[in-house]
Amino acid sequence: MKQLQHCSYSGSVKRLLFIGAHPDDETFFAAGTFAKYAEAGAQIGVICATRGERGKTGDLCPTEELPQVRERELIKAMAALGVTDVQFLPYQDKCLADAPLEEMRRVLVESIRRRKPQVVITFDTHGANQHADHLAISRFALDAVAAASDGRWYPELGSAHVIERLLWTPPTILFKLPEDADVPNLPGSDFVIDTTQWTEQKTRAFQAHRTQFPGLKKLFFDNPNGQRTFGIEVFRLAWGKRPASVPADDLFAE
């Protein structure tokens, strides 16, 4: 007798979506995690709501070219990690909170329903470092995750998609923790990913953000705390099923 194959949702291809504000947000918090899951065959999408065009050029290009330069840098950084799905949104750096809510909700709902991620990562509600754009994208992402799950919103954009987990950046940026912090046992360390195996790819992703590299180098490569925490990435469960034990070492853990 032929047995019907049971297609469990969690057994299907793993899909991860990062929703950030600026080029480098994704590398800052999740580069090693992307490399790990990309290597394992997961589908990873990165949404970047601005082009970081009000940042520094690092004397590498004229100011007016910075949006295109930052766009290329992000694409190159993701290529170093095996990620090819990068979507830029047309919003203004340092003004993300003023982006039109309806338009943002629609574009993010479309992105979520098209990619059908089980796991979405975005900034926590304090924007990791209280940056106004990070706070704004956290709000927009949460709004869109909820709207994507309700078919009454934008039925023309595809059927409702309910994600399994919404993850946030950790409560404290890792290199700001005291040297003796026991990271896996801190509240909010719900998913702790050991990325040491992907240090090379992660380093190349940072380097690809050339216009931002002088600042990133200080934080991650010159700072002993940055070096010490370079091999781990931490995510906090915002919404969805808690893993059986914390910290879990897999974003998709049962």
Using CB under 5 A as the binding rule, whether residue 25 contacts Zn ion is answered as yes
> Residue 4 Cβ, how far from Zn ion at the closest point, in Å?
47
Closest to Zn ion by CB, 25 vs 124, is: 25
Query: Which segments of 51-156 are extended strands (E)?
Result: 85-91, 119-122
**Which residues, other chains included, contact 165 with Cβ-Cβ below 8 Å and sequence gap of 6+?**
118, 119, 120, 237, 238, 239, 240, 241, 251
Binding region for Zn ion (CB under 5 A) out of 20-28, 39-47, 72-80, 138-146: 20-28
Query: What is the C-alpha separation between 97 and 88, in angstroms, rounded?
Result: 16
Evaluate the CA torsion angle 177, 179, 184, 187 in order and state its sign: negative
CB 128 to Zn ion: min, Å: 8
Stretch near Zn ion under the rule CB under 5 A, chosen from 14-22, 54-62, 151-159, 177-185: 14-22
Q: Which range touches Zn ion (CB under 5 A), out of 25-33, 166-174, 208-216, 231-239?
A: 25-33
Site string for Zn ion, 94-113 (x = CB under 5 A): --------------------
Residue with tokens 């080029």: 23
Structure-token pair, residue 67: 């949006």
Q: Is 51 in the site for Zn ion (CB under 5 A)?
A: no
Three-class DSSP category at 43:
strand
Smallest gap from Cβ 64 to Zn ion, in A, equals 21
The contact set with Zn ion (CB under 5 A) reads 21-22, 25
